Amino acid sequence: MKYGIYFAYWTKEWFADYKKYMDKVSALGFDVMEISCAALREVYTTKEQLIELREYAKEKNLTLTAGYGPTKAENLCSEDPEAVKRAMAFFKDLLPKLALMDIKILGGGLYSYWPVDFTLNNDKGGDRARAVKNLKELSKTAEEYDVTLGMEVLNRYEGYILNTCDEAIDFVDEIGSSHVKIMLDTFHMNIEEDNIAAAIRKAGSRLGHLHLGEQNRMVPGKGSLPWGEIGQALRDIQYEGAAVMEPFVMKGGTIGKEIKVWRDLIDDLSEERLDEDAKGALNFVRHVFGI
């Protein structure tokens, strides 16, 4: 298993100088750095830039993974055909870019939009059916470019279509593609699952990507989640994908607003302290997971 971290741990926005964070993530001993696809719309927009990032990651012995929360205007489960059309166009443009960067997994609430507007009358049944239909089509492009789509299971406060691993199993099985898998996140699972380890075992070979974070959104080891049980479940299913830390500890900026971080979670937000906590968490999960 490869261990990673989301660059956004150190930032307040969804885009940044990825080379700077590749330097940092590699020096801290991680195998993987996760990027946001928002940066591929805002900052890294040319083929030359994408190739440059790919080659720089290789120099740093890093694997890149990608995450994204689609906008409401580009929503695969929308009743609005134009929103679906925009979503399909976006993803079909994005997947070859990820392939060019040697990125093999794109995770997130790709089947819907994020952050969800709960003032709307979101139609879970109808939206789910539309998501299945449209992901069956999109999965063909994913298969063509060999990029797996990770269906992230979100807690009830951030999503409404997939809240549990059981729901995700039914969802990906209905789509029926080798390149549509389940993405689990320990932060969300702590809210929704009766037993985190049991849910991981249920996912089994369907588990394509994993996010690690405490119940308080801090790095692993700084909260109360049962990491020993989680590690045993991952060993039981012989999980070989990436386990990417996704902590959010800073208020402010777009990230703080959208993740709902209304206070700084640690007393020292210096880069040195953030680095120290990340490295300590990496050593912790490697020891506890033993894989």
Residue 229: CB partners within 8 Å, gap ≥ 6? Answer: 196, 197
- Output the CA–CA distances (angstroms, integers) from residue 64 to 1, 10, 67, 149, 212, in the order listed: 14, 17, 10, 14, 16
What value, to the nearest 5°, has the Cα angle with vertex 189 and ends 184 and 192? 130
Q: Which residue is associated with the tokens 């063509």? A: 144
Helix (H, G, I), strand (E, B) or coil at 180: strand
User: Which residues form the catalytic set?
Assistant: 152, 246
Distance CA 179, CA 251 (A): 35
Task: Please report the pLDDT score of residue 133 as a whole number.
Answer: 98
Q: Which helix (H) or strand (E) holds 23?
A: helix 18-27
The mean pLDDT value for 79-83 works out to 97
Q: In the structure, what pLDDT confidence band is assigned to residue 106 with cuts at 50, 70 and 90?
A: very high
**The amino acid at 145:** Y
**Residue-number span of the structural domain to which 270 is assigned:** 2-289
Distance CA 11, CA 23 (A): 15
Percent of the chain past pLDDT 90, that is, above it, reads 98
Distance CA 249, CA 290 (A): 26
The mean pLDDT value for 60-89 works out to 97
**209-234: per-residue pLDDT in tens?**
999 999 999 999 999 999 999 999 99
**5-18: per-residue pLDDT in tens?**
999 999 999 989 99
Task: Please report the pLDDT score of residue 121 as a whole number.
Answer: 81
**28-38: per-residue pLDDT in tens?**
999 999 999 99
Q: Which residue is associated with the tokens 């999109």? A: 138
Percent of the chain past pLDDT 70, that is, above it, reads 100
Task: Please report the pLDDT score of residue 46 as a whole number.
Answer: 96
Q: Which residue is associated with the tokens 């307040």? A: 12
User: Is a pLDDT exceeding 90 seen at residue 207?
Assistant: yes
Q: In the structure, what pLDDT confidence band is assigned to residue 42 with cuts at 50, 70 and 90?
A: confident
Q: At what angle do helices 165-175 and 124-145 cross, to 10 degrees?
A: 60
User: Is a pLDDT exceeding 90 seen at residue 238?
Assistant: yes
Preceding omega of 220 cis (within 30 degrees of 0): no
59 neighbors 96 (Cβ within 8 angstroms): no
Task: Please give the tally of structural domains in the chain.
Answer: 1
CATH of the domain at 137: 3.20.20.150
**124-163: per-residue pLDDT in tens?**
999 999 999 999 999 999 999 999 999 999 999 999 999 9
Question: Can you give the pTM of this predicted structure?
Answer: 0.97
Mean pLDDT of the chain: 97
The mean pLDDT value for 180-199 works out to 98
Task: Please report the pLDDT score of residue 242 as a whole number.
Answer: 98
79 neighbors 129 (Cβ within 8 angstroms): no
Tokens at 159, concatenated: 């999503």
